Amino acid sequence: MLASKLPNVGTTIFTRMSQLAADVGALNLSQGFPDFDGPQALREAVARNVMEGRNQYSPMTGLPALRQQVSAKLLRCYGVQRDADSEITITPGATEAIFCAVQAVIRPGDEAIVLDPCYDSYEPSVELAGGRCVHVPLALPDFAVDWQRLADAIGPRTRAIFLNSPHNPSGALLSRTDLDKLAGLIRDREIYLISDEVYEHLIYDGVQHASVLAHEELYARAFVVSSFGKTYHVTGWKTGYVVAPPALSAELRKIHQYVNFCGVTPMQHGLAEYMAAHPEHVEELPAFYQVKRDLFCDLLAGSRFRFKRTPGTYFQLADYSAIRPDLDDVAMAEWLTREHGVAAIPVSVFYQSAPRDMRLVRFCFAKREQTLREAAEKLSAV
């Protein structure tokens, strides 16, 4: 029998909870995708490009027009000039970008530090490269970096550190001060950064995103990953990009060309056209999602769930210890889905070893107002 390269990997919790929601007819606030569509002009642009015959391979690094639009967006948002030809690579989704970045820098025996709770693709990517992950828990209750624990985890085999801000599942944000502290920790070491910033435009209450792209010292050793799917409400298009210095981009592209070679051509054409015509979209996105966050939280205010409004992403954590403290969060998520008709994600699945007393579930509020009102009504009755 074939020995598995990933013996500890099974069906993801996101797939399981979405399937359970479908099986029992529950509202799906588990998996992170909108229940509304992307901008009509964007969808029309893609459809037009399909019908006009732009359906063959695009360049391996991505359509030039789209890379140029990304470069222009980075200048507007972060005040940085990143070269469209040598520093920006379009990929079939952010997960593929993360995988290729890992394969570019991790060698057998290397270690990569992940900050728990963390996205589930990080560790398998490292293991497939022959490395191992060192898990450093974020400090509760605010999911802040414990700088002493991070410093203690860095060793002679540390080759990469994963960052994720805005953070999935908590919504926590890294600040410029955090980035400066990290720079001080790794300044004299050959350690690379994989900065997962797919929720970069989903930050609320007037706070600005502190991107590694705008931190010159850290950017020199970083792969910064983002997602058109999250930004334009089209997660099923699986189109993302990675920005890295020329030498790192060159190594990532060596991997990328043998994993997917290129992204989907008509989608790249459509995105490039829409970004050029509607640069205001990313500027309006925080307010768009803050309305949804605030509606959902306002409706839950009278419930027995306890929470602080998330500062970023389209996820809201909720503490259910006043409701069913006898249930761990996996059992709670299943109970909510089966008995109360609302599917959530348990937070413990993002950990190597979650705190035993953790009683948190994650709800996705990237939903229509009607969906949020129906879900909140059900949850308030729990």
Write the pLDDT tens digit of every residue in 206-261.
999 999 999 999 999 999 999 999 999 999 999 999 999 999 999 999 999 999 99
- Tell me what pLDDT residue 14 has: 87
Instruction: Count CB atoms within 10 A of the CB of residue 15.
Output: 12
pLDDT, mean of residues 67-78 = 98
> Residues 274, 320: one domain?
no
Phi-psi label, residue 352: left if phi above 0, alpha if psi -120 to 50, beta otherwise: alpha
Q: What kind and span of H or E run contains 185?
A: helix 176-186
375 inside domain: yes
> Residues 289, 272: one domain?
no
Q: What is the pTM of this model?
A: 0.96
- Residue 11 pLDDT > 90, yes or no? no
6 inside domain: no
> Residues 172, 224: one domain?
yes
> Residues 265, 131: one domain?
yes
pLDDT, mean of residues 83-101 = 98
CA dihedral 49, 39, 271, 91 (to 10 degrees): -110
- Tell me what pLDDT residue 228 has: 98
3 inside domain: no
Write the pLDDT tens digit of every residue in 113-155.
999 999 999 999 999 999 999 999 999 999 999 999 999 999 9
**365: domain CATH number?**
3.90.1150.10
For the chain, the average pLDDT equals 97
> Residues 269, 293: one domain?
no
Task: Record the tokens describing residue 29, joined without a space.
Answer: 């606030």
Among the candidates 256, 278, 300, a domain finishes at 278
232 inside domain: yes
> Residues 318, 373: one domain?
yes
Total residues found in the chain within this entry: 382
- Tell me what pLDDT residue 151 has: 98
pLDDT-derived band at 54, boundaries 50, 70, 90: very high
User: What total of structural domains would you count in the chain?
Assistant: 2
- Tell me what pLDDT residue 274 has: 98
372 inside domain: yes
Cα dihedral across residues 188, 192, 194, 197: positive or negative: positive
pLDDT-derived band at 295, boundaries 50, 70, 90: very high
Task: Record the tokens describing residue 20, joined without a space.
Answer: 């359970």
Angle at 62 between CA 60 and CA 65, to 5 degrees: 145
Among the candidates 225, 248, 278, a domain finishes at 278
Structural domain that includes position 316? 13-31+281-380
- Tell me what pLDDT residue 88 has: 98
7 inside domain: no
Write the pLDDT tens digit of every residue in 263-287.
999 999 999 999 999 999 999 999 9
pLDDT, mean of residues 294-320 = 97
2 inside domain: no
**193: domain CATH number?**
3.40.640.10
> Residues 233, 310: one domain?
no
> Residues 100, 63: one domain?
yes
> Residues 94, 218: one domain?
yes
Phi-psi label, residue 313: left if phi above 0, alpha if psi -120 to 50, beta otherwise: left
Q: Which residues contact 176 (CB under 8 A, 6 or more apart)?
A: 210, 215
Helix segments in 2-142, DSSP class H: 13-24, 40-51, 64-78, 94-105, 122-128
Q: Which of 10, 99, 21 is nearest to 363 (CA)?
A: 21
344 inside domain: yes
Cα dihedral across residues 164, 170, 176, 178: positive or negative: negative
> Residues 306, 174: one domain?
no
> Residues 235, 348: one domain?
no
| Amino acid found at 260 | N
Among the candidates 278, 296, 318, a domain finishes at 278
Phi-psi label, residue 233: left if phi above 0, alpha if psi -120 to 50, beta otherwise: left
- Residue 12 pLDDT > 90, yes or no? no
Q: Which of 1, 26, 6 is nearest to 345 (CA)?
A: 26
> Residues 293, 164: one domain?
no
pLDDT, mean of residues 289-305 = 97
